[in-house]
Structure 1
Amino acid sequence: MVSLSKGQSVRLEKTGGGSLTKVSMGLGWDVRKAKGLMGMFGAKGADIDLDASCLVFDSRRQQLDQIWFQQLTSKDGSIVHSGDNLTGAGDGDDETISVDLSKLPADAQSLVFTVNSFRGDSFDRIENAYCRLVDLTNGQELARFDLTGSGSHTGQVMATLTRSGAQWSMKAIGIRTQGRTFHDMMTPIMSSI
């Protein structure tokens, strides 16, 4: 597993070589616990509804598809969203987007993964946030990017997967932005591809 820093890239391949066929981008987060007297009694703020999205682009930067809580499957069925987690409660990935790389359309060049706070909560209220890429054929975590960082932003362009021939690479983006859905974040999304 590779732990990525903002702007860092890693070429994706199976352990022992070969091309990846099925991957999952997992998003996890926790609500920051209240400090002081309220925190001593286990009190915390309301749940946080973060939403993962995946946008598919061709080599001309034209959007081909969008996978998010209002469209859980890509038009061709190659990308599937796990569904909307409204709280961030529990361990592990709170939302996942699974991609069958072998079934993506030939003109799909870039996948852009974003996260946003649908209710408008800022990342000041979030801790332990991350995105991670997993090889679904064996469950191995390939790369992880820490998203935690206080700030008044409500969205973030997390990472991109980019095709070069038959190979894919992941780049940690980490652009902080504002937006309740990816529609509000198109300028930073376009700058990441």
Structure 2
Amino acid sequence: MAINLEKGQRINLEKSNGAKLQSICVGINWGAIVKKGLFGNKKEPVDLDASCAIYDENKRNLDTVSFRQLKSRDGAIKHSGDDLTGDLNGDDGLDNEVITLDLSKLNPAANYVGFFINSFRGQDFKDIPFASIRIYEGTPTRVNEVFAKYDIANDSAFAGNVSMVLGVFYKRNGDWKFNAIGLPTADRNLEQTVVTIQQNHL
């Protein structure tokens, strides 16, 4: 049974059978904006960018995976590629961008992995019909078991923003945990969000 995460909730990366999650997918799913016009509705593509940044125990940024760099230098993190539109015909149930993370292959110096979203064209989150994150075992095209899911839409706190921090994986006493953050930021691009996470969320 998936855990429905709430802001600020922290969870252990442990399944019901006691095994720890090692290979994880973080999937982002979102919809295109529907605009009403004189001659019917018009679909406006939405380009959200899912990214993650890796930091050491001193909060120094070691690496960043995004549409510009689809693989971490240690090979532990891979990005499925840039989706420029979102779901144009309603929610198809599939993730538009997926970042896969193999905790066992991470650089040993890595202590935090922060996930975040930026609206590349500056489209306001309040106008996007749906957007969600889910953490699951599987591959970008196959979901074995959803471990946790987090709805980041339908929240007035996101209005007026184009960037947000989804959550941070962090290491404590050798074990990895996850902190669901789900907070908008005033950042305009991913470079700024890397710094925001570094300063406020580690």
Q: Which residue in 2 is equivalent to 1:127?
A: 129
Shift of the alpha carbon at 1:187? 4.4
Q: How does 1:67-106 map to 2 (within 5 A)?
A: 67-89=65-87, 90-106=92-108
Range with bigger deviation, 171-180 or 79-88: 171-180
Q: How does 1:31-70 map to 2 (within 5 A)?
A: 31-35=32-36, 41=40, 43-70=41-68
Q: Which residue in 1 is equivalent to 2:11?
A: 10
Q: How does 1:113-124 map to 2 (within 5 A)?
A: 113-124=115-126
Task: Report the CA distance shift for 1:73/1:186 in structure 2 as closer, same or farther (over 3 A).
Answer: closer
Once the two structures are superposed, residues 88-141 of structure 1 have per-residue CA deviations (whole angstroms, 9 ceiling, x without a partner) of 124321101000111111111110000010111111221221111112387211
State the SS of the aligned residue for 2:59.
coil
State the SS of the aligned residue for 2:180.
strand
Range with bigger deviation, 29-38 or 109-118: 29-38
Matched, 1:168 2:184: no
Matched to 2:179, the amino acid is K
Shift of the alpha carbon at 1:57? 0.6
Matched, 1:143 2:141: no
Structure 1-normalised TM-score? 0.91
Structure 2 gaps, min length 5: none
Aligned length: 190
Once the two structures are superposed, residues 138-157 of structure 1 have per-residue CA deviations (whole angstroms, 9 ceiling, x without a partner) of 72111111111340100000
Contact map agreement 2:53 2:194 (CA 8 A) in 1: no
The CA RMSD measured in Å over matched residues stands at 1.9
Matched to 2:108, the amino acid is A
Matched to 2:147, the amino acid is L
Please list every run of at least 4 consecutive aligned residues from structure 1 whose deviation after the TM superposition is greater than 4 angstroms. Answer: 35-38
Once the two structures are superposed, residues 45-81 of structure 1 have per-residue CA deviations (whole angstroms, 9 ceiling, x without a partner) of 4101000000001111011110000000000111000
Shift of the alpha carbon at 1:14? 2.8
- Identity percentage of aligned residues: 36
Task: Report the CA distance shift for 1:111/1:37 in structure 2 as closer, same or farther (over 3 A).
Answer: same
Structure 1 gaps, min length 5: none
Aligned counterpart for 2:164 among listed residues 156, 169, 176: 156
Q: Which residue in 1 is equivalent to 2:189?
A: 181
Shift of the alpha carbon at 1:13? 1.2
Contact map agreement 1:119 1:180 (CA 8 A) in 2: no
CA distance in 1, matches of 2:144, 2:176: 18
CA distance in 2, matches of 1:174, 1:23: 19
State the SS of the aligned residue for 1:15.
coil
